[in-house]
Amino acid sequence: MSSKAKSETALCAALFLAAALVRVLFLAATVDRDLPFSIFYYGDSRIYREFALALIRGDVFDQGIPLHPPAFAYVLSWIIGWFGERPLAVRALLAIGSATVVPMTYLLGRTLWGRAVGIAAAMLATFSFGLCVVSVSANAETIYIPLLVAQALLLVSLGDALAVDRRRTATVLSAVSGIVLGLGALTRAEHFGLAVVLPVALAIGW
């Protein structure tokens, strides 16, 4: 690994740790930190908790009708299954996971507009009140926003690989992008619309 690659890896790790710390401190400062769902997203976060508990019990949720995409409910059920009904710990783990959006924002900004823009975007994402609220809310968006940013980053990386005819890299990126597309659609149904948008974006942009 070159010194530049090591420097970028260290920066991404530092950005992730800083974002995770900010989100955990934000959760610790909220009045609802000991509740299993957020007062900001009471309806959805409560429903997903019930969905997760139904999965743990082996019960059918919503009478088997797929009204709510299941990905987040499965993630939440795994965390509850491992750590039990400890709301602060569960929401802290989700917040730490959501911190991945910050280094990905840096990489996206750096790729499109340069390192200074990437760092500025990462700082904004780190301290964004809206992103902090979402990250501690135990809601589908807690994992969906990182998936959405990952999808955009993969699109840009795939376009760059195609532009210089790096076929093996493009093949790997296409496969990973497809996996992220599937996970995104299982988290928010409208994400499946990107199955049409992404190829069009590649055709126009590259």
Q: What is the pLDDT of residues 48-103, one digit of tens each?
A: 999 999 999 999 998 888 889 999 999 999 999 999 989 999 999 999 999 999 99
* Cβ contact 78:70 at 8 Å: no
Residue 124 to residue 131: CA distance in whole angstroms:
10
Report residue 37: phi and psi, to 5°: -140, 160
Q: Report pLDDT digits (tens) over 157-184.
A: 999 999 898 999 999 999 999 999 999 9
Q: What is the pTM of this model?
A: 0.94
**Mean pLDDT over each residue of the chain, to the nearest integer:** 94
Which letter does DSSP use for residue 165 in this model?
Answer: T
